[in-house]
Structure 1
Amino acid sequence: MRAASEPLKARRIYLLLKDKIASGELADGERLPGEFALAEEHSVSRVTIRQALDLLAGEDLIQKKSGLGTFVHRPPSKVRTVLADVANVFAHLIEMGRTTDVRLLSFDYVTPPDQIREALQLAPDERSQRSVRVRLVDGVPFSYLIAHVPERIGRLYSRDDLARMPLLELIERSGLTSASARQEISAVLSSPDVAAALDVDVGMPLVALRRTVYGKDGQPMEHLQALYRPDRYTLQMNLERTGDEGHRHWSPTAEVYRRERPRRRPPVRKVGKS
């Protein structure tokens, strides 16, 4: 029993240490505690710690220096992190579609599950166009996208179109206009097929987003389930205080990807003639 559980324990320690390195809690160049201290801290054997450290070393996240110890190593990433503004859904979708690459995994017309049927307000015998795509930045996958649109809309573009252009842009190209959206953000664990597509471990936590897009007439145009690698995708929302004194609250700003407010120039004082 002990031998069978050792690899699982080692992987748990590996993931814990990897997360601390990725978050900066363990800084680049920082010396890790010795194997005995780590074994005591995590209530495991030194063999388990050694296995976990071997996994980290295999990813070049630590370096073992003879006679000195084990040190955190964070090589500079050559892959950009995608930044998404939660309050500006459509501007972000179009921009992301134009600045990232896409890999189309499937394109079919299907009988959708009940949840999708209700979200798109489809008739009992109405099908949807279902696509599965992976988006990549700098050649590294960061999102797994499952999209459904009503078949009557899906017939307006082809598989080749979707392999080249963002879905929302294709829908709007056909004459339809998106007007609003409802989205929910949560987290899920990666399944084997998603993990393989995103090049992550099975069971890795992913950012999960569900979005239904509506046209000007209030009819649903698209339902999207998007799964994102948290190390390659960041959600942000810029806020500002609004309301009258005593009833002030935080509201999303209308600006996209704003990092900071521009500094106001001090007022120019007019000097009168003496």
Structure 2
Amino acid sequence: MRDHAKTSLPEGGKARRVYLLLRDIIVGGAVTPGSLLPGEQKLAAQHGVSRVTIRRALEALEADGLVERKVGSGTLVREPRPEGQVIADVTTLIPQLVTLGQHSARLLSFSYGVPPMPVARAMGLAAGTKVQTAVRVRLAEERVFSHLTTHVPEYIASNYSENDLATTPLFRLLERSGVQVEAAHQTVTATLAAPDVAEALEVSVGSALLSLTRVVRDAEGRGVEYLSALYRPDRFHLEMELTRVGEGGARHWEPIVRGEGAA
């Protein structure tokens, strides 16, 4: 694990609050790379905290590569590193499943068993139905950006091996198994990194993550995959293009849905 790639939340609630505020300012472009942040004393006064708290926040920012602290010169803002960032368009779901699946993956676990009740209920599985559960991380430019937990009914998963899943996108394996994917429903929210996920994604425990849950169904409406995905927000973005439609008071925003040939 490379320390400079790790999000370094400082100890203490106040230090974390200041760290997150300053990080948003830097990543959001509110301050120009190469400029100096205010001194520790001024920052302490601005945020109503001690200089020790400010120092902890700045040390964490420096560990993230967002600032450079020079004795006698102050804290210099650095250019945020954009490498390894993945962008997905939520209006082109199926093409994105294929595109994201082409990033390299690392298989962390592979097993069979009865899924948690919420998973079985969402997939419409009968009581006691076994699924194949896999945990993987995906990488872009050798940098981890997502933690994926998938559940696939045993009658489908028996058509591919652990090695297949480690080397081939799951979407392709479903197709190879004769599954005709018809629809999917996904929910996006936010969550905090648990210890095992934090280690896999190279972030600190409690770091904010983008959480996506997706249930994929076949042409007969049966659940063929349940995905629980966690993403580093600094390396993965969800985007949507909108257009104004309708007339008069009924005019409103709608997403622009592109075909499967879209990038």
Specify if TM > 0.5. Answer: yes
Q: Over the residues paired in the alignment, what is the CA RMSD in angstroms?
A: 2.1
- Structure 2 equivalent of residue 251 of structure 1: 254
- Whichever residue aligns with residue 89 of structure 2, its letter is D
Structure 1 residue 194 displacement after superposition: 0.6
Note the 1:130-169 alignment, pairs <5 A: 130-169=133-172
SS in 2 for 1:49: helix
Which stretches in structure 2 are left out of the alignment for 5+ residues? 1-9
**Could you say which structure has the larger radius of gyration?**
1
Looking at structure 1, the residues matched to 199 and 84 of structure 2 have their Cα atoms a distance apart, in angstroms, of: 21
Q: Deviations over 1:182-238 (max 9, x none)?
A: 111100011111110000111111111111011111111111011111011111112
**Identity across aligned pairs (percent)?**
46
SS in 2 for 1:80: coil
Residues 160-191 of structure 1: CA distance to partner in whole angstroms, max 9, x if unpaired?
11111111110011111101111111000111
Q: Secondary structure at the match of 1:21?
A: helix
1:120–1:150 contact (8 Å) kept in structure 2: no
Report the AA paired with residue 142 of structure 2. G
How many residues align? The count is: 252
Matching residue within 180, 185, 189 for 1:177: 180
Q: Per-residue CA shift, 1:136-165, capped at 9, x if unaligned? A: 000111011011111111111111111111
Residue aligning to 2:87? 83
The reply to whether residue 204 of structure 1 matches residue 207 of structure 2 is yes
1:188 and 2:229 correspond = no
In structure 1, how many angstroms separate the alpha carbons of the residues matched to 2:43 and 2:73? 16
Structure number with greater CO (CA < 8 Å, separation at least 6) is 2
Aligned counterpart, 2:28: 23
1:101 is matched with: 104
Task: Flag the 1:113–1:17 CA change in 2: closer, same or farther, 3 A.
Answer: same
Per the normalisation by structure 2, the TM-score is 0.88
Unmatched 5+ residue regions in structure 1? 1-5, 260-274
1:215 aligns with 2:218: yes
TM superposition score normalised by structure 1: 0.85
| One-letter amino acid of the structure 1 residue matched with residue 98 of structure 2 | I
Taking the aligned partners of 1:50 and 1:70, their CA distance within structure 2 comes to 11
1:59 aligns to 2:48 (yes or no): no
SS at structure 2 position matched to 1:26: coil
